[in-house]
Structure 1
Amino acid sequence: MTPRLDAIGLVVADMAASLAFYRRLGLDIPADAESAPHVEATLRGGLRMLWDTEDVIRSFEPDWTRPEGSERLGLAFLCDSPAEVDSVYAELTAAGHQGHLKPWDAEWGQRYAVVLDPDGCAVSLFANAS
């Protein structure tokens, strides 16, 4: 048997803020999940996204501490067009999320931008330039 990637897990300081951010990116997250300590959403293709509060992690790893420094995880969301990269970036930053890299035309042929989720994880937005 070969292991296969089944889920991407995020440890979050504020469940409601994190879920609101990822809902803005189109993830179908269960309604009224903001107060749950663990949340799951199935993505297209069957991959799952998991959110756990810091308290959940400490429940089985009491010495756990929040990582410090740069990005802990990078996620990338494919947009339908370069204009959508710009509009999603604008929507997220207007909603108070921190822009990390404003949209630009990358040398590798994509429109690209990076915004930080509520826990400081880098979320890339990209589309093919053509």
Structure 2
Amino acid sequence: MDRTSRITPQLDLVGLVVSDMAASLAFYRRLGLDVPDPAGNAPHVEATLPGGLRIAWDTEDVVRSFDPGWTRPAGGHRIELAFRCGTPGDVDAVYEELVAAGYRGHLKPWDAVWGQRYAVVLDPDGSGVSLFADAGPDSATGAGPDPATDAA
């Protein structure tokens, strides 16, 4: 198939497998996603983001219903979502709000060498959720976080 006739799939949905649907939806609502309030204890929930990309949450039981051999990944998280904040101060504020609400901070906000204010919190299933904003030309220190002291 030559380049001009190549089929190009479009990314349409990011799916998250969750162990506690209510806890996961509460976390992502706190981040500002317009997540529908499911009737009862829905095992599958979807939301359409601005721009049309969809995000879906499925319980582990739903995934096992069509993939019986599925097992929860061991070790670190397998996916990380990144949320752009308006300003570097917003990164700090959202991080502090989430940690104060009981969510686990992974990397406290820092000025990254690539020119962004950056932080990472963990969702209820332990997946990393990055918070970032353009830091401006004078704010990048080049010093990354110290995992031994920067995790909350």
* Aligned residue number for residue 85 of structure 1: 91
RMSD (Å), alpha carbons: 1.1
The 5 Å alignment of 1:8-47 reads 8-32=14-38, 35-47=41-53
Contact 1:57 1:64 in 2 (8 A): yes
Return 5+ residue gaps in structure 1 as ranges: none
Q: Does 1:113 align with 2:119?
A: yes
Query: What is the one-letter code of the residue matched to 2:58?
Result: D
Q: Which has the higher strand share?
A: 1
User: Which of 9, 13, 17 is matched with 1:7 structurally?
Assistant: 13
TM-score normalised according to structure 2 size? 0.82
Aligned pairs for 1:37-116 (under 5 A) are: 37-116=43-122
For structure 2, the residue ranges without an aligned partner over 5 or more in a row are 1-6, 137-152
Distance 1:26 1:34 in 2: 22
Q: Aligned pair count?
A: 130
Larger relative contact order, structure 1 or 2 (CA cutoff 8 Å, min sep 6): 1
Does the CA-based 8 Å contact 2:38-2:45 persist in structure 1? Answer: no
Following the alignment from structure 1 to structure 2, what is the Cα–Cα distance between the partners of residues 109 and 2? 32
**100-109 or 55-64: which moved more?**
55-64
Post-superposition shift, 1:63?
Answer: 2.2
Q: Please give the alpha-carbon distance, in whole angstroms, between the structure 2 residues aligned to 1:21 and 1:33.
A: 18
Q: In 2, distance between residues paired with 1:35 and 1:84?
A: 33
Deviations 1:58-115 (A, max 9, x none): 1112221111111210110000001100000001111111100000011111110000
Identity of aligned residues (%): 72
Q: Which runs of 4+ in 1 moved over 4 A?
A: none
Q: Which residue of 1 aligns with 2:142?
A: none
SS at match of 1:89: helix
Q: How does the TM-score come out when normalised to structure 1?
A: 0.96
